[in-house]
């Protein structure tokens, strides 16, 4: 057998192993990706914990994993508790509104210019029996479930997601514990495939992009949820904690926060609290303007050296194609693309620095 044929068969053998491994583990790809992103974003924290514990890897990995779990799961658990308290009443309300129709509030007529049109639309859709199901299913006559069925579906989805979350944090522990060995293997493969210079150039960009994205999206989004949650409390929004948690999650996604505080304002207006609705909209607009125009571009753009448009395209395109995980994958891909675009320039810049 000639060496070229042996190389081809060897490549086919390697690809086949990778394909079968991906097929076997496809159910766990998403939790593994979340664990990898979280491990990369919090690796400096793990390194400090390991130093403070005298180099004990298992203790440091366990401690940081539990800390991350507490930070991420505690707000989620509080939101689930609030949702559990409100779910029966909400499910019954949705089912009743679909069966009997939801009457249009009289104050819609007082909205300038568009009030009458909105009132007429409400009367012909939501006020009619089964109008809500037609609206949510794009006109297809599909029956909405009753309250008990809605609760069962909700519980099943929550249980499925909780299993994913638990597996992600279990994987996070092993990523911390075996991180140095994994990084060493990745370095060896990268240097072999694309060369020392290119691998060093690209490998340093990924952790920076992930950490900047986590800080710019997750932390800023959660901060928006807290700030807007304060306004919900002051305006006496029903289930303010649950709404604040939903706002924090949606605020992670660009243009998601307006959906949250807009819905809260609609609830307040529907209950007759017009002043509170206006206050929530104004405060939400201020928080959103500061976060999206100053805080996030500074955190993400300055760390990754990306233009704002590239950051925005990476985030929105990632969400469109990959869902929530695309929030973090998208900016990483755009960072690698911009690095490829500027590779020659960066190479010359490095050479000039070495000469000096």
Output the pLDDT for position 266: 84
Which of 154, 156, 169, 189 minimizes the C-alpha distance to 14? 189
Output the pLDDT for position 352: 65
CA-CA distance, 57 to 177, in Å (whole number)? Answer: 6
Residue 251 scores a pLDDT above 70: yes
Task: Tell me the pLDDT of the chain averaged across its residues.
Answer: 79
Helix (H) or strand (E) holding 17: helix 3-24
- Write out pLDDT tens, residues 26-37: 888 889 998 999
CA-CA distance, 310 to 324, in Å (whole number)? Answer: 18
Output the pLDDT for position 172: 93
207 burial type by CB count under 10 A (0-12 exposed, 13-18 middle, 19+ buried)? middle
How is the chain split into domains, by residue range? 30-177, 195-356
Angle, helix 326-341 to helix 343-355, in steps of 10 degrees? 60
Output the pLDDT for position 252: 82
CA-CA distance, 145 to 154, in Å (whole number)? Answer: 11
Report residue 144's pLDDT band, with 50, 70 and 90 as the boundaries.
very low
Output the pLDDT for position 227: 92
Output the pLDDT for position 173: 94
- Write out pLDDT tens, residues 202-220: 888 888 888 888 888 888 8
Q: What percent of the chain has pLDDT over 70?
A: 74
Contact 103, 113 (CB under 8 A): no
In degrees, rounded to 5, the angle at the alpha carbon of residue 288 between the alpha carbons of residues 315 and 33 is: 30
36 or 271, which is more confident: 36
Output the pLDDT for position 49: 93
Output the pLDDT for position 149: 59
Output the pLDDT for position 18: 87
**What mean pLDDT comes out for the span 84-104?**
64
- Write out pLDDT tens, residues 164-196: 888 999 999 999 999 888 988 988 888 888 888
Residues 6 or more apart whose Cβ sits within 8 Å of residue 47: none
Contact 229, 241 (CB under 8 A): yes
Residue 323 scores a pLDDT above 60: yes
CA-CA distance, 136 to 13, in Å (whole number)? Answer: 49
In degrees, rounded to 5, the angle at the alpha carbon of residue 43 between the alpha carbons of residues 39 and 49 is: 120
Report residue 321's pLDDT band, with 50, 70 and 90 as the boundaries.
confident
Contact 304, 335 (CB under 8 A): yes
């Amino acid at each position: 057998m000639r060496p070229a044929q042996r190389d081809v068969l060897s490549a086919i053998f390697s690809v086949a192993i990778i394909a079968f491994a991906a097929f076997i583990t496809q159910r766990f790809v998403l939790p593994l990706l979340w664990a990898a992103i979280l491990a990369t974003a919090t690796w400096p924290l793990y390194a400090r914990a390991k130093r403070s514990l005298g180099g004990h890897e298992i203790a440091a990995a366990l401690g940081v994993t539990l800390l991350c779990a507490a930070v991420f799961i505690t707000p989620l658990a509080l939101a689930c508790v609030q949702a559990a308290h409100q779910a029966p009443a909400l499910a019954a309300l949705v089912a009743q509104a679909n069966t009997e129709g939801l009457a249009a509030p009289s104050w819609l007529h007082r909205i300038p210019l568009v009030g009458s049109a909105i009132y007429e639309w409400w009367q012909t859709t939501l006020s009619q029996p089964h109008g809500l199901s037609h609206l949510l299913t794009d006109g297809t006559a599909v029956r909405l479930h009753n309250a008990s069925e809605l609760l069962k579906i909700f519980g099943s989805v929550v249980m499925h997601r909780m299993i994913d979350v638990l597996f992600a944090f279990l994987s996070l522990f092993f990523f911390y514990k075996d991180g140095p060995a994994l990084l060493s293997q990745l370095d060896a493969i990268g240097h072999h495939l694309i060369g020392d210079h290119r691998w060093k150039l690209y490998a340093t960009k990924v952790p920076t992009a992930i950490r900047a994205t986590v800080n710019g999206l997750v932390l800023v989004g959660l901060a928006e949820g807290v700030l807007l949650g304060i306004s919900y409390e002051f305006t006496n929004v029903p289930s303010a904690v649950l709404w604040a948690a939903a706002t924090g999650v949606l605020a992670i996604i660009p243009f998601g926060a307006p959906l949250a505080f807009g819905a809260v304002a609609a609830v307040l207006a529907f209950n007759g609290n017009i002043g509170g609705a206006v206050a929530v909209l104004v405060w939400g607009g201020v928080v959103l303007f500061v976060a999206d125009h100053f805080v996030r571009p500074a955190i993400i753009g300055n760390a990754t050296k990306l233009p704002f448009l590239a950051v925005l395209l990476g985030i929105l395109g990632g969400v469109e194609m990959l869902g929530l995980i695309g929030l973090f994958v998208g900016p990483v891909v755009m960072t690698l693309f911009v690095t490829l675009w500027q590779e020659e320039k960066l190479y010359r810049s490095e050479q000039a620095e070495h000469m000096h």
